[in-house]
Structure 1
Amino acid sequence: MSIEVITFDLDNTLWDVEPALLRAEDAQRDWLLKHRPGSIEHHDHASLWELKKSVFKRHPELAHHVSDFRRQTLIELQTAAGFSEAEAREGAEAAFAAFLAERQRVELYAEALEVLEHLAGRYRLGALTNGNADIYKTDAAEYFDFAFLAEDVGASKPAPDMFHAALELTGASPASVAHVGDNPEHDISGAKAVGFHTVWMNPLGSEWPGGEPADREIANLKELPAAVASLRAKTGPG
């Protein structure tokens, strides 16, 4: 059986997410400083991290809903500063919008578009992400047939839900899907558990942390077409 579908993690697989996240956090902070004085000035990275841990402990239902988790954190920042619940909810939406606008301004790896164009002519492509990046707001949008976020399905990788959603949408069998991602647990172990072939995106040359390794390992997306082609050969004639 040949490979028919390739699913991709997004952050640190198709782009380096750190620059976008730093800009997004700055945009959110700037909005709060301007519109909700007293809510953020006294917080540094460590104290914000403590607040986020507290929110997570009190709202475990948000574990797989990163956008709602951020909104709740923003609400609590504002109510702690004396703003009303209504003001805090309105502010959370506005501050989150400022965050998300920068979050979506990712810069794809230099080789990504050429590789995706090549693959899109041969396979169906999909995005599976635990984050809130939207592939359809990037320059790669035209090459993707579908996308699922953890908050769409209510579970984050390595849980099988997103992988199963891809199978249900495409009608493909697990053996005809290859998943590409940078996280050994979320992407490789998660995809393997449902029977997908796996390609580990490892640009930094990290050591495999243990457990069953990916079927293929690449350091650059330019290596991906050959890696997938070798999976085709391994799975038999298509």
Structure 2
Amino acid sequence: MPIEVITFDLDNTLWDVEPALLRAEDAQRDWLLQHRPGTIDNYDHEGLWEFKKQVWKRHPELLHNVSQMRLVTLRELQLAAGFTEEEAETGAEHAFAAFLTERHKVQLYEEALEILEQLAGRYTLGALTNGNADIYKTDAAEYFDFAFLAEDIGAAKPAPDMFQAALAHAGTTPDCIVHVGDNPDHDIKGAQGVGMYTVWMNGRNHSWPGGRRADAEIRNLNELPAAVEALAG
């Protein structure tokens, strides 16, 4: 069957997420220091990490929803500092908004837009992410026909739900879809589980961790069109 659809993971597949996340964390911290003094002032990095882990343990139902988990953590930090329920609720929303603004200021890999434009002329493109990045708030927006986030679907990769949502939306069969991602477990194993072709975006030159390998491996998005073409052949 010919390849009709290509789905992409986002973070570390179409861009390096770390710079955006660092800026986003700084923006969130600055908002809290200015508007909710005492909330995080007395935490070092390790202490704040421990606080977050305790919140995660209390809310396992939110592990697939990184946005809601962050909002809950922000709210509980403010409550622990003595702010009222109302202050904590509004403060969480504002601090998260500051975070999200910077979160979406991603710098796509140098070759990404050219390659996406090339592929969009031949295939339907979709985005599947466990994170809270919105592809439609990036420079790549015009090339994508659909996008699903784990927090909207209710389950994170490698669970089959997001891949099945892509299949249903595209109205095609697994052997007509290629999923491209950097995570061997979330992306490759997950897509393999529903029968999709897979391309491992190994931009950091990692060793394969074991298990069934992806159908193709690339180090740069420039290699992707040829890899997809080879699968189609």
- TM-score normalised by the chain length of structure 1: 0.97
- Where has structure 1 moved over 6 Å in runs of 4 or more? none
Inter-partner Cα distance in structure 2 for 1:208 and 1:153: 29
Inter-partner Cα distance in structure 1 for 2:231 and 2:43: 49
Deviation by residue 1:190-225 (Cα, 9 ceiling, x = unmatched): 000000000000012110000000000000000000
Deviation by residue 1:49-75 (Cα, 9 ceiling, x = unmatched): 111111111111111110000000000
* Correspondence 1:6-155 to 2 at 5 A: 6-155=6-155
Inter-partner Cα distance in structure 2 for 1:43 and 1:17: 25
- Tell me the CA shift for residue 47 of structure 1: 1.2
Inter-partner Cα distance in structure 2 for 1:45 and 1:102: 20
Deviation by residue 1:135-168 (Cα, 9 ceiling, x = unmatched): 0000000000000000010000000000000011
Helix, strand or coil for the counterpart of 1:217?
strand
Matched letter for residue 182 of structure 2: D
User: Could you tell me which residue of structure 2 aligns to residue 175 of structure 1?
Assistant: 175
Greater mean alpha carbon deviation, residues 128-137 or residues 41-50: 41-50
Inter-partner Cα distance in structure 2 for 1:15 and 1:127: 13
Matched letter for residue 230 of structure 1: A
Helix, strand or coil for the counterpart of 1:7?
strand
Does 2:193 align with 1:225? no
User: Could you tell me which residue of structure 1 aligns to residue 195 of structure 2?
Assistant: 195
Matched letter for residue 23 of structure 1: R
Aligned sequence identity (%): 73
Greater mean alpha carbon deviation, residues 161-170 or residues 42-51: 42-51
CA RMSD of aligned residues (A): 0.5
Matched positions, count: 233
Inter-partner Cα distance in structure 1 for 2:120 and 2:46: 43
Does 2:208 align with 1:208? yes
- Tell me the CA shift for residue 80 of structure 1: 0.7
Inter-partner Cα distance in structure 2 for 1:175 and 1:46: 46
Helix, strand or coil for the counterpart of 2:110?
coil
Matched letter for residue 59 of structure 1: H
User: Could you tell me which residue of structure 2 aligns to residue 236 of structure 1?
Assistant: none
Inter-partner Cα distance in structure 2 for 1:11 and 1:43: 28
Greater mean alpha carbon deviation, residues 124-133 or residues 56-65: 56-65
Helix, strand or coil for the counterpart of 1:87?
helix
